[in-house]
Amino acid sequence: MKKQFQSFYKRLSQRILLVCLLTIVMLGLHVITFVVAGLVQMMKIYFYSELKASSETIAKQLDAKTNQDAFYQYMKQIDVDINKAPFLRNSDEHGKKWAYSVVVDSTGTYLYHPDKQRIGKQNLFDDLQEPAWKNFTGKTSTVIVDYEMITIDDTYADIFYIRRPGTSWTNAIVVPIEALMSTTNITAFILLTFIILGMLATYWISRRSIRRATLPLQQLTESADEVAKGNFKAPLPQLKYNDEISQLRDSFGNMQHSLTQYIEQLKTTTAQKAAIENELNIARDIQLSVVPTQFPELKDSIIYGSMTPAKAVGGDLYDFFVRDKELIFCIGDVSGKGVPAALFMMMTRSLFRAYAADGDTPDRIVTRMNRVLSENNDSYMFVTLIVGIFDMESGELRYCNAGHEPPIIINQEAHFLELDSTFPVGPIADATYQTHAVVLEPQSSILFYTDGLTEAMNAEEEELGAERVFDELNQIIHNAQASPKLLIERMTQAVHNFAGGTEQSDDLTLLCIRRESL
């Protein structure tokens, strides 16, 4: 299944966004905690300073037994000043002040409270849910400035207080936690908002930078697509920085240049190859033209042959001609393949035609051919050869073997014609050869062949071998299909069936002679 395409810069931007989100969570919590702690500490300093600033004036007024109304107005003004602090909400929706002052005597009775009805009548400890507050009242030899977290009038609050030595009263400021939390919440929200905006700005800048940095990669991709379509001159992006992308661009440019050169060379090579193939086809036609394809109707004999080169041109050969009552023939297999073998084959065929026409015996024909082919044979090429003269009236076959495969006699069954081991033609100038004779019985055939028959290979690199060849020949004999043409066609088809399309390395040449009757 084809994977879905995902842009590199988008994938990297997603990871940056994830990092930004994690940073907002982790950094935001730390920053907000730090700022809130600092804000609380600033509130403490502020309330302590207010207490210290007003405590001496309060002490003087209490010692002078200032008029109660005047003292009340003075304290109300202090409450107003306290609530002007920037970190406190000035009032709620009913106009009620958030922070307020109280002054109590040693028993906790209110000497001042924003609610006049409580002054001199109610006790601070009655309003507390934690009445056992020992440090709030009592004698002291030093100034005590402190704060506690209390629940007063069903409101959770911080109470900041101061007691001076030699006095029987305590001055305090009550600040509901709600007032402080409102400020800290707003501050935290503002901080978090700025952090989020900063991270979003960072993400946007990073995404834009990545997009600009990866744009050359996209352009290189488009150029690669153009190259794949055959446009080897597709423009490449111009880069300002000498980095990895610049090196990739240079490598891509080198590849374009190399591909252009390669295509030009390939065109030249293809043209040359086409010319060579054309010449080889002409050479093949010439070579096949010298191989007999017309087989005469003889009185008492039949001859048929075929040659299938493994390459464009091959090194196998067969030839024959009729002189009076004799059929003079040869079959050979040149060492090597291709053009050199084909040239050597043409020389061999020409020499056979020249010397066989003189009426020599088979051994004399082979000897003369060997002398000529061995001259200046620096490449040590050779040809295995059988030259024969078949008397069509008597059935006598005189033949000379020069290192070739033994032919197969075919009558009631197929069997080899035993041959002596001799040298092929070409490598040894003074090699000697002998003529042998055998009588071919009526209704019998003799099959000459090259090693392309027995050494044909299939895809498993198994050879056809002599055993399979004899099995096929015996089957042909039993089906009464022993005419030379049909026999050769059946054997050629057997080779093709066995090979199964596997390219063969050896040429396949077959020549069959049959004696019909006495």
Give the DSSP letter string of 18-59: HHHHHHHHHHHHHHHHHHHHHHHHHHHHHHHHHHHHHHHHHH
The pLDDT score that the predictor gives to residue 10 is 65
pTM: 0.54
By the 8 A CB rule, do 352 and 388 touch? no
The pLDDT score that the predictor gives to residue 94 is 43
Residue with tokens 């379509």: 229
The pLDDT score that the predictor gives to residue 447 is 95
Q: Which amino acid is at 475?
A: Q
* DSSP label of 392: T
Asked if pLDDT for residue 138 goes beyond 70, the answer is no
What percent of the chain shows pLDDT beyond 70? Answer: 82
Six-digit token string for 308: 């299938």
The pLDDT score that the predictor gives to residue 413 is 87
Q: CA gyration radius for the chain?
A: 59
More confident: 89 or 257: 257
The pLDDT score that the predictor gives to residue 97 is 55
By the 8 A CB rule, do 455 and 463 touch? yes
By the 8 A CB rule, do 245 and 228 touch? no
Q: Band of the pLDDT at 134, cuts 50, 70, 90?
A: low
Six-digit token string for 123: 């006790």
The pLDDT score that the predictor gives to residue 403 is 92
- Highest-confidence range of 121-125, 245-249, 285-289, 325-329, by mean pLDDT? 325-329
| Segment 56-94, tens digit of pLDDT | 777 777 776 767 788 888 888 888 888 877 666 555 544
Asked if pLDDT for residue 137 goes beyond 70, the answer is no
Q: Which amino acid is at 370?
A: N
- Highest-confidence range of 121-130, 210-219, 420-429, 480-489, by mean pLDDT? 420-429
Exposed (0-12), middle (13-18) or buried (19+): which is 141, by Cβ within 10 Å? exposed
Six-digit token string for 155: 């409101």
CA dist 320 and 8 (Å) reads: 76
Least confident of 97-106, 136-145, 157-166, 447-456: 136-145
Q: Which residues pair with 170 in a beta bridge?
A: 104
| Segment 1-34, tens digit of pLDDT | 445 544 655 666 667 767 777 776 676 666 667 7
Asked if pLDDT for residue 186 goes beyond 80, the answer is no
* DSSP label of 299: S
Average pLDDT, integer, range 22-49:
73
The pLDDT score that the predictor gives to residue 216 is 72
| Segment 239-253, tens digit of pLDDT | 666 766 677 777 777
CA dist 390 and 399 (Å) reads: 8
Please name the residues in contact with 281: beta carbons below 8 A apart, sequence gap of 6 or more.
312
Asked if pLDDT for residue 176 goes beyond 90, the answer is no
Which helix (H) or strand (E) segment holds residue 386: the answer is: strand 383-391
CA dist 518 and 441 (Å) reads: 8
More confident: 38 or 388: 388
Give the DSSP letter string of 405-465.
PPPEEESSSEEEPP----PPBSS-TT-----EEEEPPTTEEEEEE-TTTTT-B-TT--B-H
SS3 content of the chain, % helix, strand, coil (to 5): 45, 20, 35
| Segment 396-439, tens digit of pLDDT | 999 999 999 999 999 888 899 988 878 999 988 889 999 999 99
Six-digit token string for 120: 């001199």
- Highest-confidence range of 107-111, 125-129, 330-334, 358-362, by mean pLDDT? 330-334
Q: Which three-class secondary structure state does DSSP give residue 301?
A: strand
Give the C-alpha distances (Å, rounded to integers) separating 517 from 302, 320, 392: 11, 21, 10
By the 8 A CB rule, do 442 and 434 touch? no
Residue with tokens 């610049």: 246
By the 8 A CB rule, do 295 and 304 touch? yes
Phi, psi of 475 (to 5 degrees): -65, -40
The pLDDT score that the predictor gives to residue 406 is 94
More confident: 316 or 212: 316
By the 8 A CB rule, do 256 and 233 touch? yes
Asked if pLDDT for residue 133 goes beyond 90, the answer is no
Least confident of 87-96, 112-121, 125-134: 87-96
Asked if pLDDT for residue 141 goes beyond 70, the answer is no
The pLDDT score that the predictor gives to residue 93 is 47
* DSSP label of 3: P
Q: Which amino acid is at 398?
A: R
By the 8 A CB rule, do 271 and 263 touch? no
What percent of the chain shows pLDDT beyond 90? Answer: 21
Asked if pLDDT for residue 318 goes beyond 90, the answer is yes
CA dist 88 and 157 (Å) reads: 13
Which helix (H) or strand (E) segment holds residue 321: the answer is: strand 316-323
Phi, psi of 460 (to 5 degrees): -90, 10
